[in-house]
Amino acid sequence: MGRLKKMEVAVINVVTHPHSPQGYVDLLKDAFALKSPVNYLGVEKFILNKPIPINKEDAVEGLSGFFHKFTDIDLRAPWMNLAKLEAVESEDGEPVVNIPEEMKPNCKTAPFVFLAKGHRFFFPTAHTEQNTRITFSPTLVAKALMSLFSHASIREKYGDVTVTVESQEETIGEILKIPALTKLILDVNLPNPDDIFGDEAEALRRMQEQHARKMRAEWTGNKEAGIKPDADTRGFMKLALSNGYVEAEGYDDQQKVVKKTEKHPVRLEGQYTKGKSALSCLLGVARSSIVKFAAKGEFRRRR
């Protein structure tokens, strides 16, 4: 048996209203058809490669493909000669190096799996290819996808698309255990109804009853009494794990405590041997883990 290679996997929730598995498949295909790079970080750009059906007979089963990030350089700017410590330009002041517009340096690639019935992306935040460690930030990937789905043609067809990094459920428990909770901020987007089970159902009902697409609330209190979230607030906190974020501040004795769900993304683990592809490993992780996040059809909500 070959040496095991490890993979850390993040999960991103994509939500449209109204929604259907086929609608999510169409969303990804239309987003790819734009072939439009969006901002990732600094001079880095992000682009979605062509999504391929996992099952050629039924695209609704899911899609796989690749994310790419690359450095977007100014092709009109001069290059630096490190030996001479001077800019390199031609006699007419034009760049000496002639690079085709479509060529971009420092490309890094990560596979993804998108399960349409659970409308979740699974992708490695860290894996090794050809002895090179490749990392993708869940937060930055979510922002890049949000930018892509905010394109005018996408919004015209699908409306507002929300993109949220799945956060660790344990973070809510840690927030509720803060001895003196002095600030609590909730930001919740309307989830897909068939994703919701258990404690979150009442929070969803309240949003639907008021025709709300988004809910934002902030509570402040003092150290002596501390905020005591009730059942309704705890329901919204759980909704936020997949559809928003929670921020909390408080004190444990005299020590200030700050907790943010976005700082604690879900990280799943995958392992594969040399000769196996990262994509096949990722698909296995996605199929075995989707039950934790989605309740549609054969899926059930995490407890």
CB of 49 closer than 8 Å to CB of 37: no
Q: Looking at the structure, tell me whether residues 269 and 213 fall in a common domain.
A: no
Q: Is the confidence at residue 2, as pLDDT, over 80? A: no
Q: Name the residue among 126, 87, 88 with its Cα closest to residue 108.
A: 126
Q: Looking at the structure, tell me whether residues 36 and 154 fall in a common domain.
A: yes
pLDDT in tens, 39-76: 999 999 999 999 999 999 999 999 999 999 999 988 87
pLDDT average, residue stretch 103-116: 94
Domain annotation covers residue 49: yes
CA 88 from chain centre, in angstroms, equals 40
Q: What is the band of 302 on the pLDDT scale with cuts at 50, 70, 90?
A: very low
What is the tally of structural domains in the chain?
2
Q: Looking at the structure, tell me whether residues 229 and 283 fall in a common domain.
A: no
pLDDT of residue 3: 76
Q: Looking at the structure, tell me whether residues 32 and 158 fall in a common domain.
A: yes
DSSP-derived pairing of the beta strands 38-41 and 52-53: unpaired
What strands lie across the sheet with 244-252, from one edge to the other? 214-220, 180-189, 244-252, 255-260
How far apart (Å, rounded) are the C-alpha atoms in residues 5 and 281? 10
pLDDT in tens, 201-245: 899 999 999 999 999 999 999 999 899 999 999 999 999 999 999
Q: Looking at the structure, tell me whether residues 42 and 129 fall in a common domain.
A: yes
Q: Looking at the structure, tell me whether residues 286 and 197 fall in a common domain.
A: no
Q: Looking at the structure, tell me whether residues 254 and 282 fall in a common domain.
A: no
Q: Looking at the structure, tell me whether residues 122 and 214 fall in a common domain.
A: no
Q: What is the band of 100 on the pLDDT scale with cuts at 50, 70, 90?
A: confident
